[in-house]
Amino acid sequence: MRIVIGIFQDKEDVTRFNRRRMLDFTSLTEVGPFFSKDQAMLWMKELRSRIDNSEIAFIPDQSRKNLKWYGFTFEEQ
């Protein structure tokens, strides 16, 4: 099993990512909000350093000023 880690601002981005990867949506864990992309990235990198079998898989290309940041993890079998 591998843990997939990412950050997002729009929940719909996570749903689209999940469909592409065909991950088990029931294993979704969300954290946040973070008040900046830097804060969310720090969380993601720290978590990645603590979980041996993990992958950073999703970081939005653009950010939206009016939305907060969130983190997520999925279990990939």
pTM reported for the whole predicted model: 0.81
Flag whether pLDDT at 51 surpasses 70: yes
Specify the pLDDT at position 24.
Answer: 65
Cβ-based burial of 47 (10 A; exposed 0-12, middle 13-18, buried ≥19): middle
Flag whether pLDDT at 53 surpasses 80: yes
Interatomic CA distance for residues 33 and 22, integer angstroms: 25
Tokens of 32: 């946040």
For 4, half-sphere exposure in the C-beta direction (CA atoms, 13 angstrom radius) is 17
Q: How many C-beta atoms lie closer than 10 Å to residue 19's C-beta?
A: 10
Q: Please give the backbone phi and psi of residue 58, each rounded to the nearest 5 degrees, phi first.
A: -150, 120
Residues in the chain: 77
Specify the pLDDT at position 18.
Answer: 77
Average pLDDT score over residue span 38-53: 94
Average pLDDT score over residue span 14-39: 82
Average pLDDT score over residue span 50-75: 87
